[in-house]
Amino acid sequence: MLSVVATPLGNLEDLSPRAVRILSEADWIACEDTRHTRKLLSHFGIRTPTTSYHEHNESEKASLLVDRLKGGERGALVSDAGTPLVSDPGYRLVRLCRQQGVEVLPVPGPSAALAALSVSGLPSHSFCFAGFAPRRAAAQREWLSNWRQSPSTLIFFLTPHSLQPALKRFLEVLGDRQAFLAREMTKLHETHCWGLLSEVVHQVEKQKPRGEYTLVVEGRSPEAGSTREAPLDVAAYVEGLMKRHGLKRREAAARAAQQLGLPARQIYQRSLAPR
């Protein structure tokens, strides 16, 4: 039998008593980083042996682990933090277990995606988890365009090194929607940022990106003619900056260019286009 065990995002108090028992009773624990998981296990006095299972050895390791499970061993699968398989390794192992008749049971617990959604203030009756965006700018824009028409609330994971340029592209492609950005959830330096995407971009520019980020974005508005249904209206965006901050057009275009990561001259010219 394989147990898929959710582990804390940061606060160790979030590991459930059942998870502690399952991890203690298992014959082995498959984990992304054995050193990281060992710290968690040591805190709870769990002495179960660990074995590495990550994206680089997932294909070959899955069959070996399934053979052990078929031999009667009890295994547990964990990720570094949160629920395994949610943008983490584990899919191949669980699928192979299903194909070969090995029982797989969930041990529910923390999930960064659901934790962020639960406190985002955005609709939660229908949502889509999109995971991590492609790294390259062009691929990222194309990928985001596939989500643009979704009426469901969207959930993304963002890495600190790509946070600021990615948020600017989100604003450029999705438009200025309501959004919620969570950093280091359940940890000592947890922070939340709530507002329009343009406001989130502005807030992020004031700080050095560190830690793990989860972004929740409003889905496409069902209202006909809503500006949130289309990519960002640059002219309206610049005019909004002019009105809110008393800026001249060139000054507003320069600020918009900085926030959107686009050339100031291009922003200025687009702001002059008849609407």
Query: Residue 57 half-sphere exposure, CB side, CA atoms within 13 Å?
Result: 11
Contact 253, 268 (CB under 8 A): yes
Read off the pLDDT of each residue in 4-26 and give the average, rounded to a whole number: 97
**Structural tokens at position 65:** 């682990």
Residue, of 258 and 85, whose pLDDT is higher: 85
pLDDT at 38: 96
pLDDT tens digits, residue range 46-88? 999 999 999 889 888 999 999 999 999 999 999 999 999 999 9
pLDDT tens digits, residue range 170-215? 999 999 999 999 999 999 999 999 999 999 998 898 888 888 999 9
Q: Lowest mean pLDDT: which of 112-116, 118-122, 242-246?
A: 242-246
pLDDT at 96: 97
pLDDT at 157: 97
Q: Lowest mean pLDDT: which of 160-164, 208-212, 259-263?
A: 259-263
Q: Which residues of 243-272 are buried (b: 16+ CB within 10 A; e: fewer)?
A: eeeebeeeebbbbbbebbbbeeeebbebbe
Under the banding of pLDDT at 50, 70 and 90, the label for residue 224 is very low
Query: What dihedral do alpha carbons 191, 163, 246, 218 form, nearest 10°?
Result: -70
Read off the pLDDT of each residue in 87-102 and give the average, rounded to a whole number: 95
Under the banding of pLDDT at 50, 70 and 90, the label for residue 225 is very low
Under the banding of pLDDT at 50, 70 and 90, the label for residue 238 is confident
pLDDT at 228: 42
**Structural tokens at position 123:** 């609709």
DSSP string, 100-166: TT--EEEE----HHHHHHHTS-S--SSEEEEEEPPSSHHHHHHHHHHHTT--SEEEEEE-GGGHHHH
Q: Report which residue type is found at 100.
A: Q
Residue, of 264 and 9, whose pLDDT is higher: 9
As a whole-number percent, the residues of the chain with pLDDT over 90 amount to 69
- How many other C-beta atoms lie within 10 A of the C-beta of residue 228? 19
**Which SS3 state, helix, strand or coil, does residue 40 take?**
helix
* pTM of the complete model beyond 0.85: no
Query: Residue 40 half-sphere exposure, CB side, CA atoms within 13 Å?
Result: 32
Query: What dihedral do alpha carbons 50, 55, 58, 60 form, nearest 10°?
Result: -110
Tell me what the pLDDT averaged over the chain comes to.
Answer: 90
> How many angstroms separate the CA atoms of 79 and 161, rounded?
21
